[in-house]
Amino acid sequence: MTAIHAVRRTVFTENNMDLREFLKNNILISDGGMGSLLQKSGLPLGVLPERWNLEKPEVIREIHKAYFDAGSNMVSTNTFGANPLKFSDDELKDIIFAAVKIAQDAKKESISDKEKFVALDIGPLGHMLKPYGDLDFEDAVNAFKKIVSLGQEAGADAVIIETMNDAYETKAAVVAAKEACKLPLIVSNAYSEDGKLLSGTTPRAMVALLEGLGVDALGCNCSLGPEKLKNVVEELLEYSSIPVIFQPNAGLPKIIGNVTFYDVDEDEYVACMADEIRKGVRIAGGCCGTTPSYIKKLSDAVSGLKPVPVKKKEITIVSSYIDAVVFDKEPVLIGERINPTGKKKFKQALIDKDIPYILNEGIRQTEKGVHILDVNVGLPDIDEKEMLVNVVKELQAVTSLPLQLDTADPDAMEAAMRIYNGKPLINSVNGKEEVMDSIFPLVKKYGGAVIALTLDENGIPETSEGRFRIAEKILSKAAEYGIDRKDIIFDTLTMTVATNPEAGNITVSALKKIRDELNCHTSLGVSNISFGMPNRDEINAEFYLNALNSGLSAAIMNPYSYQMMKTYYSFRALKGFNGGEEEYKNFLDTNEETVNNVAVEERTDFASGLQKAIIKGLKEEASSITSKMLDTTDGMEIVEKEIIPSLNIVGQDYEEKRAYLPQLLMSAEAASACFEVIKYRSQNGRNRDRGSVILATVKGDIHDIGKNIVKLLLENYGFNVIDLGKDVDPEIILETAKKENVKLVGLSALMTTTVVSMEKTIKLLKEEYGKCKVVVGGAVLTKSYAEKIGADHYSKDAMETVRYAESLNLK
C-alpha cells in the first residue's frame, strides 16, 4: 500500500512540465545504452534484464541516475522486453511498476537541475505479424495496450516506442498507445545499412505513417553508428513536420575476449550528433554502447545550441509498408479496376468471395505502372466491412503500392484504416456535414490523405465558383478536426459532356482555381466525361490531357486503356520529367508486343489448341480459347471433352514421372483460368460439384504452399474446397466441418513441432464429429507417422490427395 502510495505521490508532485511543451523550445537530451551497462554490472546471459527491476533495483536506479546526472532530460525505463508474450500478467505488472518507480526515484535523487522526464520504454514483441508471422494485428495492439496502461498507471511521464524494425508492428504499438493513454508519444525505428527498416520501409514512408497516427516525435535508433545513419535522419528531417529523435549506437560491436567494445568513441560520436542537431534533430541520445560519459559530452557540447524550429512541411503523401507516393508535379495514377461498378465478372467474384480474382486485378494494375490502387468492394448483398478488411489484408501481401480505401460505409472505412499498413488515401468525403463528421475523426486517428468531392447537401454546383466555395468549406471543417490542408485532395467532379457540353470546362476551371488559390492538390475520375458517348477512350484521353495541362495532380483511371496510358506517358515525356522519354518509348514497345500476341492466338486451331495450351501451362492462351469456344459450345461440354482429359494427361504424366510438379501446377493454373471463364459465362460450369473438402494448415504452422497446391488440384477436379488458411485452430476446423457437413478434411504440417497440433485436430474431429475422413500431408510426415496420429490417409503429394478424394463419395 505504501509503495503504491509513494508511486502515486511521485506522479502528481514531480511532473513539472509536459514533454510536448518542453520540446517546443528546447533540445531534449535523452539517455544512452542500458543493456551494455547491465552486462557490465554482471547481468548473466539468459537472464531477462527486466527481472532486475525486481531483483536488483539499485543497479538500475544507479544507471538512470548516472544519465540524469550526465545531463539527460529523459531516461527510458528498463522495460524494453517487458511484454505479455514474455511475462505473466502479474509479473508484468510488478516489473513495469518497479521500473517506473526506479526511474522516478532516480529523477528525484539526481543532482542535475535540468528538466527531467521518465519515458516508459517499449520494444518489439519478438513475434512477426501476420501474414509472415503468427501474430494477429489486434493481438499485438492488445499486448501493447497492456504495457502502456500499466506504464501510465505507474506514473511514466511519456512513452517511447523504440528499436522497431517492422512498420506494421510499429503501427500496432502506436494505435495501442494512443488508445490507452494521453501521454506524449515518441516513436523510433531501427534502420539497416540500406537505409530502410528490415521490413523494407523507407524513412519517408515511416514519416507518413507516424505523422498520420499523430505521434509527438519520430526518428531512429540502434543498429548503426551516427555516421552511417546520417542519410536516414536527414530524410526524416526533410519530410517530418514534428520533432525528430536520433539515438544511434556507438558504432558496431567488437568482442575481444569476453568484453564488448564499440568502434565509435565519444568525441567522434558527439561531433556527428552535434552536426545532426544543427540540422534539426530535437531529441538526441544514444543506444547500444553509449554510456553516461558519451551523454555528458553530448550534453555539454550542445548546451549553447539554439534548437532549429520544427517547420511544417507542405507535403501531400500517402504510403504503403514499403514506400510513399508524394503528390507533386508529376501526375499520379490511381488504378480504378478493383471496383464492381459496371463489371459483371467482378460482382460475381465478390459474391463468390473469389479473392484471387480480385488480387489478380491488383497485380495486373501494378504491372501496368499505376502508383496507387483504389479498392472498392461494396455490393448490396455482401458484408462490405468484412470484405474490405479481407481484401486490404490480402492486397498488402501481393502489392507494395499504397491503397485508396473506397467505401461509403464509415464502419468499413474505420476497420480498413485500422489494419492498413501505411497511410492510406481515403475515398472520400464531400461537403455534407454528416459525411465530414463521420470521416474526419477517422483521418485524425489513423492518418490518411482524403479525396474531397466538391458537392454538398444541395448537390453538385453547376458552376466552378460553386464548387470552389464547397472546397473552402471542407478545408475549414477539416481544420476544426486538426487535419491539415496538405491532406485534402479535391475532386471537382467529372460529369458527362453528353448531357452538358460545358461539363468538362466547369470541372477543369474549378480544379485550376482550387489549385491556384487554395494551394491544394486535385484528383479526377476521368472516364465519367464520356459517359453515353461513342469511342470513349479517345475522349477520356483528350480530357485527361486537358486536365493535366491545367495542373491536375492525380487521376482515378483505367490503366488497361491504351489511350489513357499513352497520354500519361507522352505528357511526362513532353514535360521533361525524369526518365519520361525512355518510359514513353518503353510503353510503345511493350504495347506492340501484346498486339502481336493476339495475332498468334487467332491462328490457333481451337479444339486441340485448348488441350495444347493446358498441357503446356499457357494460362492466357487457354482462357482466350475457352472464351471463344463458349460462343458455340456448351460450357459443360468443354469441361468434359477438353479440360478434364487434358488434366488427366498431365496428371498421369506426373504420376509416371514424365512431368514435374511445376508443370502440373502450370497446367492446373491454365485449367483454372478456363474454369473461371466458363463459370462467369455460363451457369452450367457450376454444376461440377463433387462434394466439399476442408483444407487447413494446422495451428502454429505458417507455411501453406503445399496446402495451396492441393487446393488448386482438387478444385480442378471439381471438388468444392473450403480453405481455412494457415495457423488454424482445431476448434475452427471442427466447427466448419459440422456446419458444412463435410466428409473429408485435409491437414498440412511442416514441422515436427506442429504435427502435435495435427494430432490434436484429428482427435477432436474424430471425437466430436466422427463423420469425416482425415487426409494428411507435409514435409515431416510419413505413412507410419500418419497412422500413429490417427489420420485415415497419408498423401505423399497433391495428386494422391485428388485420387483419395475421388475414391470417396463426398456428396
Partner 1 sequence: MKLVKIDFTDIDRGEVLRYACSKETDEINKLLDECIEEMEGNLNSDVVYEDFYMEEKDSEINFSFTKTHSESLAKSFSGCGVGVVFAATIGLGIDRLIEKYNKVSPSKALMFQALGTERIENLCDNFQKYISSQYAGIGLIPVGRFSPGYGDLDLNLQKVILPYLEAEKRIGITLNDSLLMTPSKSVTAFIGLKDIFRTFEVEEQCGHDCHSCSSEDCLYRK
Residue 398 or 498 with smaller CB distance to partner 1 = 398
Residue 555 or 755 with smaller CB distance to partner 1 = 755
Question: CA-CA distance, 377 to 578, in Å (whole number)?
Answer: 35
Residues at the contact surface with partner 1, assessed by CB under 8 A:
45-46, 124, 126-128, 131-135, 163, 165-166, 190, 192-193, 198-200, 222-223, 252-255, 260, 355-356, 359-360, 363, 394, 397-400, 616-617, 660-663, 665-666, 668-669, 700-705, 708-709, 712, 750-754, 757, 779, 782
C-alpha gyration radius of the chain: 30
- Bridge partner residues of 335 (DSSP): 373, 557
Residue 48 or 301 with smaller CB distance to partner 1 = 48
Question: CA-CA distance, 83 to 60, in Å (whole number)?
Answer: 19
What is the nearest approach in angstroms of partner 1 to the Cβ of residue 677?
Answer: 16
**Single-letter residue type at 451:** I
Residue 28 or 135 with smaller CB distance to partner 1 = 135
| C-alpha distances in Å from residue 686, one per residue of 314, 695, 739 | 54, 20, 22
What is the nearest approach in angstroms of partner 1 to the Cβ of residue 348?
Answer: 17
Question: CA-CA distance, 213 to 443, in Å (whole number)?
Answer: 9
What is the nearest approach in angstroms of partner 1 to the Cβ of residue 674?
Answer: 15
| C-alpha distances in Å from residue 418, one per residue of 176, 206, 406, 699 | 11, 16, 14, 25
Contact status, residue 444 vs residue 481, Cβ threshold 8 Å: yes
What is the nearest approach in angstroms of partner 1 to the Cβ of residue 479?
Answer: 39
Question: CA-CA distance, 787 to 804, in Å (whole number)?
Answer: 16
Strands 253-256 and 259-262: antiparallel
Show the cell assigned to 138: 489486434
| C-alpha distances in Å from residue 727, one per residue of 133, 294, 758, 775 | 10, 47, 11, 17
What is the nearest approach in angstroms of partner 1 to the Cβ of residue 750?
Answer: 8
Residue 460 or 764 with smaller CB distance to partner 1 = 764
**Single-letter residue type at 81:** G
CA atoms within 13 A on the CB side of 806: 12
Residue 589 or 767 with smaller CB distance to partner 1 = 589
What is the nearest approach in angstroms of partner 1 to the Cβ of residue 354?
Answer: 10
Question: CA-CA distance, 37 to 762, in Å (whole number)?
Answer: 50
Residue 23 or 647 with smaller CB distance to partner 1 = 647
Residue 127 or 690 with smaller CB distance to partner 1 = 127
Residue 106 or 618 with smaller CB distance to partner 1 = 618
What is the nearest approach in angstroms of partner 1 to the Cβ of residue 332?
Answer: 23
| C-alpha distances in Å from residue 541, one per residue of 464, 507, 535, 728 | 22, 15, 11, 48
What is the nearest approach in angstroms of partner 1 to the Cβ of residue 363?
Answer: 7
What is the nearest approach in angstroms of partner 1 to the Cβ of residue 264?
Answer: 15
Question: CA-CA distance, 57 to 54, in Å (whole number)?
Answer: 6
What is the nearest approach in angstroms of partner 1 to the Cβ of residue 335?
Answer: 17
Question: CA-CA distance, 249 to 299, in Å (whole number)?
Answer: 17
Contact status, residue 400 vs residue 320, Cβ threshold 8 Å: yes
Residue 161 or 552 with smaller CB distance to partner 1 = 161
